[in-house]
């Protein structure tokens, strides 16, 4: 999905959130942000790119100034630790549910609200998630996914953010308890924002429930573009029965390649902005569970 006018302030806010979490002093932060403001897409001069494309340019600028290609490593580890401390609560929610899979899917989607680029306050996360769980996923969206999962032997799961990955692992664990399937969990090869890499996957021991691989993209691209992934990932993607894609960055980039791979992708994320609200006809922060196979609104 290409960027629109609403993306500009959102990207700038995200970039400023990233800059404030680095070790740059005020003068360096001003210099970096001035350079960011010169990116054509952030000046309204180029609407032909996706949000991950723009953010990748910002990351290249930031890493060049910082001399550090994973400046949020400690932040991501702390976020994983926070969610791991809460894990038993969410695990109990799933095990006590009438339909454990539905709750696990819902929790994984709600995990998309965990984003240290936009907020540092997660003290009310558990109560917020409990409140949002009171509004169930629409059956017309959930049932097609459930049927696909029942006929899936090899699942590819595209990770998104740190912290959120703990709830992804809970969903994968639930899937493996219900179905006989093989899972490949794909992460960023190059750190970008607070997205998961092999380090964060190891933090939560994702390797205990799935094969974990980097996507092979040679750049801080916060999404998934199959043409830039390693040949191994491209082959795994083609051979998969189903792909679960988490987060807006993965959706924005994969949406550009929907004619080749769309029929096997299910997207799980939150409607965080006007473009998603318009595309999916949802209120702000509503859960999105959709695929090209059954959701007319994606075409």
Residue 278 sits in a domain of what CATH number? 3.40.50.10880
For residues 125 and 35, state if they share a domain: no
Of 53-57, 81-85, 183-187, least confident by mean pLDDT is 81-85
Do residues 186 and 157 make contact, with C-beta atoms less than 8 angstroms apart?
Answer: yes
Regarding whether 33 and 77 lie in a shared domain, the answer is no
Residue 1 lies in a domain: no
Residue 60 pLDDT exceeds 60? yes
187 with 44, same domain?
A: no
130: confidence class by pLDDT, cuts 50, 70, 90: confident
Domain total of the chain: 2
CA 187 remoteness from chain centre: 10
> Residue 69: which pLDDT band, with cuts at 50, 70 and 90?
confident
Q: Give me the mean pLDDT over the 243-266 stretch.
A: 88
Q: So what's the pLDDT on residue 297? A: 45
What is the pLDDT, as a whole number, of residue 8? 93
Q: What number is the average pLDDT over the span 253-282?
A: 87
Question: Is there a domain that residue 261 lies in?
Answer: yes
137, 248: one domain: yes
Greater pLDDT, 172 or 273:
172
For residues 81 and 165, membership in a common domain is answered with yes
Q: What percent of the chain has pLDDT over 90?
A: 67
Residue 3 neighbours by CB distance under 10 Å: 22
294 and 272, same structural domain?
Answer: yes
| Strands (E) located in 132-286 | 154-158, 182-187, 211-214, 242-246, 265-270
Task: Return d(Cα 57, Cα 50) in angstroms, integer.
Answer: 12
Residues 22 and 103 in one domain: no
Helix (H, G, I), strand (E, B) or coil at 166: helix
Residue 210, both tokens:
């799935």
Average pLDDT in the 154-179 region? Answer: 97
Looking at every residue in the chain, the average pLDDT score rounds to 90
* pLDDT value, residue 98: 94
Average the pLDDT over 161-182 and give the result.
Answer: 96
Co-location of 108 and 61 in the same domain: no
Distances (CA, A) of 110 to 95, 115, 160, 163: 17, 11, 12, 11
Q: Does residue 121 share a domain with residue 53? A: no
Evaluate if residue 59 carries a pLDDT over 70: yes
Describe the strand order of the beta sheet including 287-291 as a list of residue ranges: 211-214, 182-187, 154-158, 242-246, 265-270, 287-291
Residue 41 in domain: yes
pLDDT in the model for residue 293: 61
Give the least confident one: 168-182, 222-236, 254-268.
254-268
**Residue 285's pLDDT is what?**
84
**Mean per-residue pLDDT for 18-24?**
86
User: Residue 262's domain spans which residues?
Assistant: 73-298
Element (H, E) at 151: none
- SS3 assignment, position 187: strand
Looking at the structure, do residues 145 and 199 belong to the same domain, yes or no?
Answer: yes
Q: pLDDT > 70: what percent of the chain? A: 94
- The pTM for the full model equals 0.93
- The Cα–Cα gap between 211 and 214 comes to 10
Do 197 and 271 lie in one domain? The reply is yes
Query: For the residues 238-264, what does the mean pLDDT come to?
Result: 89
Averaged pLDDT, 90-113 = 94
Mean pLDDT of 270-275: 88
User: Is the distance from CB of 171 to CB of 105 less than 8 angstroms?
Assistant: yes
Average pLDDT estimate for 130-134: 80
Sign of the alpha-carbon torsion through 268, 273, 279, 280: positive
């Amino acid at each position: 999905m290409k960027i629109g006018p609403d993306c500009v302030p959102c990207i700038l806010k995200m970039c400023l959130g990233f800059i404030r979490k680095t070790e740059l002093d005020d003068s360096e932060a001003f210099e970096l942000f001035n350079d960011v403001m010169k990116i054509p897409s952030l000046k309204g001069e180029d609407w032909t790119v996706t949000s991950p494309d723009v953010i990748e340019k910002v990351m290249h600028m930031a890493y060049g100034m910082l001399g550090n290609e994973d400046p949020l490593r400690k932040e991501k580890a702390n976020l994983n630790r926070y969610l791991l401390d809460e894990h038993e609560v969410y695990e109990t929610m799933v095990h006590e549910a009438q339909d454990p899979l539905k709750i696990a899917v819902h929790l994984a989607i709600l995990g998309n609200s965990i984003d240290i680029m936009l907020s540092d306050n997660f003290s009310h996360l558990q109560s917020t998630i409990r409140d949002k769980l009171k509004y169930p996923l629409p059956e017309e969206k959930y049932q097609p996914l459930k049927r696909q999962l029942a006929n899936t032997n090899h699942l590819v799961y595209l990770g998104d953010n740190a912290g959120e990955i703990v709830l992804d692992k809970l969903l994968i664990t639930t899937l493996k308890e219900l179905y006989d399937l093989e899972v490949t969990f794909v992460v960023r090869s190059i750190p970008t924002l607070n997205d998961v890499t092999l380090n964060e996957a190891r933090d939560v021991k994702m390797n205990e429930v799935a094969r974990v691989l980097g996507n092979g993209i040679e750049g801080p691209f916060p999404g998934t573009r199959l043409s830039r992934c390693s040949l191994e990932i491209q082959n795994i993607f083609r051979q998969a029965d189903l792909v679960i894609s988490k987060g807006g960055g993965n959706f924005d980039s994969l949406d550009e390649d929907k004619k080749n791979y769309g029929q096997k992708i299910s997207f799980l994320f939150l409607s965080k902005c006007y473009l998603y609200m318009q595309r999916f006809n949802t209120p702000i922060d509503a859960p999105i569970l959709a695929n090209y196979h059954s959701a007319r609104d994606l075409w």
